[in-house]
């Protein structure tokens, strides 16, 4: 597991553990659900460590961490009876159910064969820059090399001009 995975999972575990211990059943249920959500994501990342990559479920994992922090705030408010009971119960129920739902969505995206050559190739394709970005890179390289393309150009100038055409052929 890469260090980003370890950091993300540790952040989730800290957020989950920060929910208050309470005798209030509503808060206990929220704490149990948050623990379940973190356990689900931890197991999913163990199966597929690419889940936390930017091109996969990173946003959902970050969202889960935010929701767990919000759940902590609501649980503490409930413990201190700052909100009306009905409003608080509905909010805590909905949010604690949402964290489990989100964790299950993250887990559903886990690919047990993430390290198979075909999956690695798919991931490589997803990580490639967009066509527009490649065209911009090629145009910048062409502009940078253009002054060196004299009547007898340096071999490096010719090589770089050809490379620009390989990156993104000129539009005819």
Give me the pLDDT at residue 42, please.
93
Give the whole-angstrom CA distance, residue 55 versus residue 98.
23
Output the average pLDDT for the chain.
Answer: 89
Give me the pLDDT at residue 38, please.
95
Give the whole-angstrom CA distance, residue 74 versus residue 140.
52
The pair of structure tokens assigned to 105 is 């969505």
Q: Dump the DSSP string for 123-138.
A: HHHHHSPPHHHHHHHH
Q: Lowest mean pLDDT: which of 81-85, 95-99, 138-142?
A: 81-85
- Looking at per-residue pLDDT, the higher value among 21 and 47 belongs to 47
What is the average pLDDT across 61-65?
92
Residues with Cβ within 8 Å of residue 20, at least 6 apart in sequence: 27, 31, 72, 75, 76, 79
How many Cβ atoms are within 10 Å of 4's Cβ, its own excluded?
A: 14
Is the pLDDT at 3 greater than 70, yes or no? no
pLDDT tier at 1, thresholds 50, 70, 90: very low
Give me the pLDDT at residue 85, please.
64
Q: Dump the DSSP string for 84-135.
A: -HHHHHHHHHHHHHHHHHHHHHHHHT--TTTTSHHHHHHHHHHHSPPHHHHH
Is the pLDDT at 59 greater than 80, yes or no? yes
What is the average pLDDT across 16-33?
87
Q: Lowest mean pLDDT: which of 25-29, 83-87, 149-153?
A: 83-87
Is the pLDDT at 90 greater than 60, yes or no? yes
Q: Does the reported pTM lie above 0.85?
A: no
Give the whole-angstrom CA distance, residue 118 versus residue 133.
25
The string of pLDDT tens digits covering residues 131-164 is 999 999 999 999 999 999 999 999 999 999 999 9
pLDDT tier at 37, thresholds 50, 70, 90: very high
């Amino acid at each position: 597991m890469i260090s980003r995975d370890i950091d993300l999972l540790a952040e989730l575990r800290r957020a989950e553990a920060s929910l208050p211990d309470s005798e209030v059943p509503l808060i206990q249920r929220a704490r149990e659900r948050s623990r379940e959500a973190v356990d689900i994501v931890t197991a999913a990342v163990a199966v597929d460590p690419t889940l936390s990559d930017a091109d996969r479920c990173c946003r959902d994992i970050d969202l889960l961490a935010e929701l767990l922090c919000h759940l902590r705030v609501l649980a503490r408010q409930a413990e201190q009876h700052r909100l009306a009971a009905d409003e608080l119960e509905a909010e805590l129920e909905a949010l604690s159910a949402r964290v489990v739902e989100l964790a299950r969505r993250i887990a559903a995206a886990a690919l047990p064969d993430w390290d198979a050559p075909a999956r690695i190739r798919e991931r490589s394709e997803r990580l490639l820059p967009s066509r527009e970005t490649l065209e911009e890179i090629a145009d910048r390289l062409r502009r940078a090399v253009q002054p060196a393309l004299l009547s007898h150009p340096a071999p490096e100038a010719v090589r770089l001009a050809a490379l620009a055409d390989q990156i993104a052929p000129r539009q005819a």
